[in-house]
Chain A
Amino acid sequence: MGLDIRLPIGMMFSLLGALLAIYGLATGSDSAMYSSSLNLNINLWWGLVLFVFGAVMLFFALRSRFSKK
């Protein structure tokens, strides 16, 4: 089938990751908000994890696309 599923997965997770990480940065000073997550800025850190995962997926999707051409 003509669609490489790694492409949408990579796009979605890098987008979500970036969004979450930026939101984490913007709200990082709000310590009351992060008291629920054990005083860990989980949005920032997990956002970065999602972003890296998405980027890796995108890398493999794009690599196979270019090597085909």
Chain B
Amino acid sequence: MQLQLIDYSIMLIYVGFVVGIGFALKRYMRTSADFFLSGRSIPAWVCGLAFLSANLGALELVGMAASGAKYGIATCHFYWLGAIPAMVFLGIFMMPFYYGSKARSVPEYLKLRFDERTRCFNSMTFAVMTVFASGISMNALAQLLHSLLGWNYDLSLLICSGVVLVYVLKGGLTSAMYTEVLQFFMIVLGFAPVVYLGLKDVGGWSALKDILQGVSQDPTKLGINTHSFGPDAWTSVWKPIIPGPEANPMGVDVFAMAFGLGFVLSFGYWCTNFLVIQRAMAAKDMSAARRTPLIAALPKMLFPALVILPGMIAVGLASTGKGGYHLPQVSISDSAYPAAIAAVRDASKQLERQEPAAVTAPIAAAVHHNLNADKIAALVKDNQAQPLSDADIQTRLQGAVADPDYNGVILSLVQKYCPPGLMGLALTALLASFMSGMAGNVTAFNTVWTYDLYQAYLAPNRPDQHYMSMGKYVTVVGIVLSIACAYVARNYSNAMDIIQLVFGFVNAPLFATFLLGMFWKRATSHGAFFGLCGGTMTSMLFHGCTIAAGNTPGIKGAWISTVQTFPSEMAQNFWLASFAFSSCLILTIVISLATSRTKSDEELKGLVYSLTEKVREPDQAWYATPAFLGTLLLVGCFALNVYFW
């Protein structure tokens, strides 16, 4: 696909503005607090949109469309069951402690509430995790741009991260947040017309629903799933979940969905992840800090229309075959071709005796993907009639792949509907989401490194300017490390799976520690630390003893022994989180009761619910209070669940 001058101009204007914001803010960066905390001076609506945007990285955008295609509207549970209630809880109940304690980061809150051990554990895992997360996301984006637009992998990586580096270095957290607001609008306004055109093309929502009801009864045709489901599996949120894991493409049951995803994983992410909470901590006052997640929750509630719907539209279009559209297929890796071509030639020598399926099997094994048996049979036959060149076989092999590349779904729609001009806008939106996610990771990383690791353990009691320049150095280091991780992710995808797994273990129980820390004054530092370690061990053991159907024991689970088999990886993951959380909760309670408190009531003031005065906001109209806004959001969320029941 060729881009035109107009597309490049749009991208350049965007880059010009984000870099310009960085330079415009440079003169306000005087102290380390300005650089890392925006001097606690940002208005609530800016914090709210930045809060949302920092989470809306390219991986989120691409991944949600992918899940929309794979699982249908039930993907909305990540929003309507998980994110929104968690954001409301954060704003109403937890923000007073994060903001009121004057902690500069989430790990620092743990230090104030418990002790250094918990902080150290949390800050180290968080710092490493953000770098890897950023690297994985960069790799995914650069691969996508490479495979679909033919852009140079190294160059797109370097340019994008270079832009982020410049504006974060110049304006610190403030410029990361301000550009996130701009990126938020860019993402929404860049993708909305694509979704509109797609929806119009399939004939509107009700027509799409009809098509998807057909798809869910025969998803094998599109290669989306090997089972068939009831007609509602792609189009209702709860109906396919309630009968049990066999009835929905996610393969999860109601408990795992409600407790594992809705409570443990979502609250764990939104209420403890410094990446998003940092945005609220930068707010100008307590009331703005509490309203930050609430302001973010409103657009978040509507986001499925922008990020999940495109995946569903793509499946609908592929099912009708309208305009020759088909789901993008994964590409065969270059290293697999020699063996595959040899397999084709081999098959050509012995065609008479074999069925298409039998001919295809060894070739599919060589390319490591599912292949369309009829196309392969035709290819082998043609090659037998007249030997084909390597290049011809290669092209036809790729054409026969029958493994949908879900991550390519969103770009395939962009390619289908965007004329030059709009194309530039949509691609800029994709780049914007990538940059906002990356800037989020980098700013969270440099703060945790500088305040929670460097200042706490390596070089305490230095002048403020020292930490400020450390922050700048470490911004560069963070970006370089992320780039390195992107290359690791590209070349050793197994290593990445292991790393993500380990962080899954650490994160699953974390919310129990915060919950008890904030709402139970009797929780002790021994309880917190050993409870967290125990929770992490539980997730490891759980993973070692369970596996999802269809996976082989090893990195996917059951590396100790197979005690329980789950219908899907998602179900395994949700149940793992539920177990890890519960064991951390119980262990922390038991150990806390068995050990004596190390912090007095006086020391815990402002850190624990029962010892902190209720936040008084007398000058606020009733309709602007967090409690009212939160209730409104929950009602809206409930209504959406019922409407799409």
Contact = CB atoms under 8 A, between A and B. Distances in A.
Contacts of B25: 1, 3
A39 B598 CA distance: 71
A37 B419 contact: yes
Contacts of B419: 27, 33-34, 36-37, 42-43
Interface string A10-30: 011101100110011001000
Contacts of B42: 1
Contacts of B178: 3, 5, 8
B13 interface: yes
Contacts of B39: 1
B189 A37 contact: no
B418 interface: yes
B181 A9 contact: yes
B174 interface: yes
B24 to A, nearest CB: 6
Interface stretch (B72-80, B193-201, B383-391, B557-565): B193-201
Interface stretch (B14-22, B215-223, B568-576): B14-22
A55 interface: no
Given A1-B39, A12-B17, A16-B10, A37 B422 contact: yes
B189 A50 contact: yes
Nearest to B181: A5
A66 B14 CA distance: 27
B348 interface: no
Interface string A23-67: 110010000011011101011001101100100000000000000
A46 to B, nearest CB: 5
Size category of the B interface is 20 to 34
A49 B181 CA distance: 18
A33 B420 contact: yes
B200 A38 contact: yes
A37 B182 contact: no
A8 B418 contact: no
B466 interface: no
Nearest to A33: B419
B421 A20 contact: yes
Interface in B495-518: none
A46 B193 contact: yes
B182 A1 contact: no
Contacts of A9: 181-182, 185
B13 A37 contact: no
B86 interface: no
B38 A8 contact: no
B566 interface: no
Nearest to A41: B419
B185 A13 contact: yes
A32 to B, nearest CB: 10
B69 interface: no
Given A12-B182, A36-B416, A36-B417, A3 B21 contact: yes
B189 A8 contact: no
B24 A3 contact: yes
Contact of A37 (B9, B14, B46, B418): B418
A43 B39 CA distance: 41
Interface in B32-46: 38-39, 41-42, 46
A24 B425 CA distance: 13
Given A5-B182, A8-B20, A38-B201, A20 B13 contact: no
A41 to B, nearest CB: 9
In this complex, the member of A5, A40, A46 whose beta carbon has the largest number of chain B beta carbons within 10 angstroms is A5
Contacts of B454: none
Contacts of A43: 419, 421-422
B422 A42 contact: yes
Specify which of B189, B420, B421 lies most central, judged by the most chain A CB atoms within 10 Å of its CB: B421
Interface of B: 6, 9-10, 13-14, 17, 20-21, 24-25, 28, 38-39, 41-42, 46, 174, 178, 181-182, 185, 189, 193, 197, 200-201, 416-422, 425
Interface of A: 1-3, 5, 8-9, 11-13, 15-16, 19-20, 23-24, 27, 33-34, 36-38, 40, 42-43, 46-47, 49-50, 53
14 contacts: A3-B28, A8-B21, A13-B189, A16-B14, A19-B13, A20-B425, A33-B419, A36-B418, A38-B417, A43-B419, A49-B189, A50-B425, A53-B185, A53-B189
Given A3-B25, A16-B14, 15 more contacts: A3-B24, A3-B178, A5-B21, A5-B181, A12-B13, A16-B10, A19-B6, A19-B13, A27-B420, A36-B418, A37-B419, A38-B200, A46-B422, A46-B425, A49-B189
